[in-house]
Amino acid sequence: MLWHGFITDVTERRNAMQAIADARTLLQGVLDAATEAAIIATDVWGLITVFNSGAERMLQYKAAEMVGCADPLAVHLESEVIERSRELTMLCGRPIKGLEDAHLRRPAGRILDPRMHVRA
């Protein structure tokens, strides 16, 4: 009987995957420690990918509600987003859509005064 096969050393791949997991754990620890600041990040399609405990506390949404399935416009005043888009369009000389800085809105509709910088 004749067997053919190959052996692949996956040590480098496993080490890389462990380094990524360690970096994610560290990042999550930093984000969770920032309870006095709302940190929200989106992917290139505008879906929320990061919603830290500070954002949960300030905006009264749970990360599970927001990450991956919500639009960041859900926590911003539409009127302010439109106005800021106009300002940036004039400043940049090209159409700008999206968020730059805006007052935040809680689920009950109450407005939170601090400003937050968001780039989309």
Can you give the CATH number for the domain in which 92 is found?
A: 3.30.450.20
Whether 21 is covered by a domain: the verdict is no
pLDDT in tens, 37-82: 888 888 877 788 889 999 898 888 999 989 987 677 777 778 888 8
Please tell me the pTM assigned to this model: 0.58
Establish if 63 belongs to a structural domain. Answer: yes
Q: Which residues contact 86 (CB under 8 A, 6 or more apart)?
A: none
Does 12 reside within a domain? no
Domain extent for 77: 35-117
Q: Would 3 be classed as within a structural domain?
A: no
What's the total number of domains in the chain?
Answer: 1
